[in-house]
Structure 1
Amino acid sequence: MSVEFLLTMLIVVITPGTGVLYTMAAALSRGMAAGVVAAVGCTLGIVPHMIAAISGLAALLSASSVAFEVLRYLGVAYLLYMAWGVLRERGGLKIEDDVEPQSPLRVIVHGILINILNPKLTLFFFAFLPQFVDTNAPNALLYMVELSAVFMLATFVVFVLYGKFAAIIRWRVISKPQILAWLRRVFGIAFIALAARLVFDN
């Protein structure tokens, strides 16, 4: 497993998105336990994207090296899109006022739906996974499954950490737009740097 994959994966997972916001909102509104349950739901929401992407990529990449290059530049476009999206966001995290307890199943279902309806995950698996796999290797498909499992594990761990962070600091810090704006600038610059690396790496 390459350092480049781990770096790309961690930046994608760490960058706040709908799943992170959902997990943090759950932890802020109803405590750390709700944040962990929300993280489980968001992680399970990755599975459909993983299955669809891996099953399609296995046939596509073995048939055409041009398709591989297309996917590589889709990866560049994806990184630039993420950088643009992160940098243009403004405002603070919205937290629901409702603090009534919710069943774990309901929290999980909401988390699954959030990530099933997230097109960025499908694009990640289609655009990035093949760049870290030798498509001529006999175990290429198995290796893609392994990388996907690592991605899911990292997602769960990072989301739990976000939930823990939100439960500790609560409203005093997370509601300040200037802190979120600083974090977005850091993530945006990191995406641009990775996009440049993909362009010039052969």
Structure 2
Amino acid sequence: MDISTVVAFLAVDLLLVLTPGADWAYAISAGLRERALLPAVAGLTLGYLGYTVLAVAGLVVVVASSPALLTGLTVAGACYLMWLGWGVLSRPAGVGASGEEIEGSRGRILLKGAGISGLNPKALLLYFSLFPQFIDTGTGAGWPVAAQTGLLGVLHTTACAVVYLGVGVFAGAVLRTRPGAARVVTRVSGVLMVVIGGVLLVEQVA
């Protein structure tokens, strides 16, 4: 795998990561709470690391080629997003929440992040459809396919971590001193989660 292939992958991957979605909504919501951003981003990246392990093991292809399994994953992910979105709307994160409250919920914040990225069917499709375009399967390939897949997975996970951390930090720095705007952005994040989950469900029904 040469450097030009890696650069081309990063260019395409960054465009996808920079597209707002459920991950962005969760990072913004976490950025408005003290000390919640790092566990939230860690959870999101943990989900993508899980996909990387599956991709290296070749299990992503098996899952993606099974319509029933893929449908089940999509429905589960959609329901989870809607449930989290409803939670944000009914109990919007308060700006300046106490450190003790956040400390006690860090594990849950991390697990929620891992659930959002880990149950995101679009992530599965990214690993299944995008990665193969940048993997050299020829006899002259310098790296084994598993190693190439692992590298692309780590690069994608790193890009997600950097972008989501930046999004959360920006949201916290800009909005934490503006309680009214912060509440609006938090509710918009919740609405995005519900809408994205609803669209995924409708796609399965249709």
State the TM-score, normalizing by the size of structure 1: 0.62
Q: Spell out, residue by residue over 1:115-144, the C-alpha distance to the aligned partner (whole angstroms, 9 max, x if none).
A: 111001100000000101111225222011
| Pairing 1:43-192 to 2, within 5 Å after superposition | 43-56=45-58, 96-98=92-94, 99=97, 100-101=101-102, 102-136=104-138, 137=141, 139-170=144-175, 171=178, 175=184
Q: Which amino acid aligns with 1:10?
A: L
Runs of 4+ in 1 over 6 A off after TM superposition: 57-60
Identity %: 31
Deviation (angstroms), 1:106: 1.3
CA contact under 8 A between 2:49 and 2:154: conserved in structure 1? Answer: no
Q: Which runs of 5+ in 2 are unaligned?
A: 63-87, 190-206
Matched, 1:23 2:41: no
Matched, 1:4 2:8: yes
CA distance in 1, matches of 2:154, 2:114: 16
CA distance in 2, matches of 1:140, 1:109: 30
Q: Could you say if the C-alpha distance between residues 135 and 158 of structure 1 is closer, same or farther in structure 2, counting changes exceeding 3 Å?
A: same
Q: Which runs of 5+ in 1 are unaligned?
A: 61-92, 181-202
Q: Could you say if the C-alpha distance between residues 165 and 4 of structure 1 is closer, same or farther in structure 2, counting changes exceeding 3 Å?
A: same
Provide the secondary structure at the position in 1 that maps to 2:36: helix
CA distance in 2, matches of 1:168, 1:6: 28
In the alignment of these two chains, the number of paired residues is: 143
Q: Which amino acid aligns with 1:96?
A: P
CA distance in 1, matches of 2:61, 2:31: 41
- Provide the aligned C-alpha RMSD in A: 2.8
1:34 to 33, 36, 40: 36
Q: Spell out, residue by residue over 1:6-39, the C-alpha distance to the aligned partner (whole angstroms, 9 max, x if none).
A: 11110111111112211110111x13x3112200
Deviation (angstroms), 1:152: 0.7
Q: Which amino acid aligns with 1:7?
A: A
My pick for the range that moved more, 48-57 or 148-157, is 48-57
CA distance in 2, matches of 1:108, 1:48: 14
CA distance in 2, matches of 1:104, 1:6: 31
